[in-house]
Amino acid sequence: MKIPAPQANFRPYLGITLLIGFGFFTMGLMDPLYDTYVPLFLRRYLSSNTAVGALMTLDNLLQIILIPVVAVWSDRTRTRLGRRMPFIVVMLPISALFFSLIPSMAALSLAALIGIIFIFNVFKTAVRGPVVALMPDTVPADYRSEANGIINMMGGFGLLVSTLFLARLMNINGFLSKGFLVQGSLPFGLAGLCILAAVLVLLVFVREKTPGGDGGEKRVPVMASLKQVFSGESKNSVGRILISLFFWFTAYEGIKPFLGLFLVEYVGVDEGSAALAQGAAGISSVILAVPSGYLAHKIGRKRFIRICLAVLAAILVLIPLSGLLTGSLPLTGRLAVFLGLMFFYGIFWIGVVVNSFPMLWQMAGFDTMGVYTGLYYTFSQGAAILAPPVTGAVIDLAGYPGLFIFGGAAMLAAWFIMGGVRLGEAETA
């Protein structure tokens, strides 16, 4: 599908945005299975939550380096497929292969598990920047909240498939009692096949916008691009958005790796139900992703994000309080209350995610889209590196209630810092 010429509303971009969303669908498939079950695989060898949290940051160490580098690299790539697609059609299939092998390596040894997740994350991380930058390349700045809602909805569909269908297959042993097909191979393998299908859709149907002629576009050096970002009237708003997202991702990334362990060890569910928390949040994310983009366009992206951050902080503080109030209920009752809170958590989290990237992209040009995308991931993955070992230590010291109180405090810090942002709104809002 060719990219439509600039239009006065978002509707002409709906089709191409849905197709680009298949890239996000692959991330939605992989991330919940990885975040839920890799800690459980690590638990076979390690008893410390701090150690588990530290190892879960291995991928984030790669992301803080590779995502900005490859995103900027793709800014300057010129091929017949475009500047983002060459990375996508090579690296996503390789990611699918190594993702499928994680349960088998987990059954062998701790060293094999660490090795496979390292290799997998090299390719999955490298491709994330081009996948994300593909959308703002094609959709005008004023409509990127709506478009980001669409592609996050597609990511949400991937999350639902992963958590509500594939994760339920974790309790099914491999087809052979010995060999490569161990417990967990089925969901991870099926996810790999779905990723290959999504890549085929992108390759066949998405045609990138290219500048006219090899010399028709000025390629700004990387350091000049960074200087441009952090100078002039935009530097205060860019800095505040980046620091704010560091704090809200500190909350999100600090809680996420321990949700499966929380459900298994604290609530008492089986491993096949360990991904239900992300599934509940994923359902609401799918439902509200698109309306979040439209509503933020109407009332303002900054205002909408701050409302969402305040509610997220309240929900996280309510989780340990609800645990005290429902402690006498049976397992199904306690689980239902927690999943209900996670459903509302997903509603307001998607509101933050959908509209924060467009605020940065609003200040970017065609030649600096990858730079802004890279900065987003530098700060978000910086939080992802710091948060899991910190929250693991919080759990070791204060138990699981401390995990959610810590997250609520980080959300409030982000709310406060976002108050000083002045740029990033859609001009037609």
Taking residues 13-20, report their average pLDDT: 88
Distance set, CA 231 to CA 141, 192, 224, 226, 237 (Å):
20, 43, 11, 9, 11
> What is the per-residue pLDDT across 229-284, written as a single tens digit (0 to 9) for each?
666 667 788 899 999 999 999 999 899 878 888 888 888 777 667 778 877 887 88
In angstroms, the first-to-last Cα distance of the chain is 28
Digit-coded pLDDT (tens) for 320-359: 887 665 666 677 788 888 899 999 999 999 999 999 989 9
Domains of the chain and any CATH numbers: 12-208+225-418 (1.20.1250.20)
Task: Please tell me the predicted confidence (pLDDT) of residue 394.
Answer: 92
Task: Give the CA distances from residue 200 to residues 20, 206, 208, 262, 310, in Å, rounded to whole numbers and listed in that order.
Answer: 12, 10, 15, 37, 40
Structure confidence by residue, pLDDT tens digits, 167-190: 878 767 554 444 446 777 888 999
Model confidence at 210, in pLDDT bands (50, 70, 90)? Answer: low
CA–CA distance, 401 with 320 (Å, rounded to integer): 5
Are 127 and 212 spatial neighbours (Cβ–Cβ below 8 Å)? no
Kindly indicate the confidence band of residue 428, based on its pLDDT and cuts at 50, 70 and 90.
low
User: What is the pTM assigned to this prediction?
Assistant: 0.76
Contact 137, 369 (CB under 8 A): yes
